[in-house]
Amino acid sequence: MSRQPSHVPPGLTGRDLAWDVMRELRTFTVDDLCKRTKLKRGSVDDYVQALVKAGLVTRSGNRPSPLGNAGSFPRAEYSVADIALPLEAPRVRKNGTLIPASGRQRMWRAMGILKDFSARDLASTASLPEAPVSHHEAQYYADWLVRGGYLLPAGSGRYLSIATKRFGPRAPMIQRVRRLLDPNTGEIVCESEPVEEKAR
């Protein structure tokens, strides 16, 4: 899904909204998703078709047209595949190729597993052969999460993950204006001072 619709909550994408509804309904039509998310049919249909090619969604049949709606065609019905599904929306190309989660999303997951870690531990755990996470990036993200209260410095370059601050599966986002947003709550957690940004 390309451009961010204006009604989508901060920190989320149209893909996130559509995936949340798919997981909730389990069986659905594109119309169902459009009504619930208020997204454009074309972008929703493109995402559903990509998920079908990826094997995460299957075409399960047709839903009859509403009674009295002469001339309309049955609507394709889809089902979420009966496999362990991620809470966050899959990133997938139109041809069905899955795109790895972002480095920060992988770091967020790793923090919940590791609990006590260094930036080097975090980078190593979150890295994939095709999508490595640098030590610098892990340090930068961890420092922002300390400022936001998600991590505690534990001395000797280590951090502790605070379980009560993990409000959902989506990684807190550092926005371009240098502020930390939690997409699970829509809350701006902290911002940089202007003088600090000039020094970076």
- Strands ordered across the beta sheet of 75-80: 27-28, 75-80, 57-63
One-letter amino acid for residue 192 of the chain: S
- Last residue in a domain, options 46, 71, 99: 99
Residue 6 domain-assigned (yes or no):
no
> Which domain, by its residues, includes 160?
103-199
- In whole angstroms, what is the distance from residue 131 CA to residue 144 CA? 21
Q: Which residue has the higher pLDDT, 73 or 3?
A: 73
One-letter amino acid for residue 118 of the chain: S
**CATH code where residue 146 lies:** 1.10.10
Residues 10-24 have pLDDT tens digits of: 778 899 999 999 999
- In whole angstroms, what is the distance from residue 89 CA to residue 22 CA? 10
Question: Is residue 33 domain-shared with residue 112, that is, in the same domain?
Answer: no
Question: Is residue 54 domain-shared with residue 40, that is, in the same domain?
Answer: yes
What pLDDT does 7 receive? 61
- Last residue in a domain, options 99, 123, 146: 99
Mean pLDDT score across all residues of the chain:
87
Question: Is residue 132 domain-shared with residue 64, that is, in the same domain?
Answer: no
The mean pLDDT value for 161-167 works out to: 94
- Last residue in a domain, options 50, 72, 99: 99
Q: Which residue has the higher pLDDT, 63 or 122?
A: 122
- pTM given for the model: 0.74
* pLDDT score of 174 more than 60: yes
* pLDDT score of 71 more than 50: yes
Question: Is residue 80 domain-shared with residue 36, that is, in the same domain?
Answer: yes
Question: Is residue 116 domain-shared with residue 56, that is, in the same domain?
Answer: no
Residues 188-198 have pLDDT tens digits of: 999 886 433 33
Question: Is residue 95 domain-shared with residue 139, that is, in the same domain?
Answer: no
**pLDDT class of 1 with cuts at 50, 70, 90:** low
**3-state SS track over the chain:** CCCCCCCCCCCCCHHHHHHHHHHHHCEECHHHHHHHHCCCHHHHHHHHHHHHHHCCEEEEEEECCCCCCCCCCCEEEEEECCCCCCCCCCEECCCCCEECCCHHHHHHHHHHHHCEEEHHHHHHHHCECCECCCHHHHHHHHHHHHHCCCEEEEECCEEEECHHHCCCCCCCEECCCCEEEECCCCEEEEECCHHHHHHC
Nearest alpha-carbon partner for 118 in 164, 147, 153: 153
* pLDDT score of 4 more than 60: no
* pLDDT score of 199 more than 60: no
> Looking at the 3D structure of the chain, how many domains does it have?
2
Residue 130 domain-assigned (yes or no):
yes
Question: Is residue 68 domain-shared with residue 53, that is, in the same domain?
Answer: yes
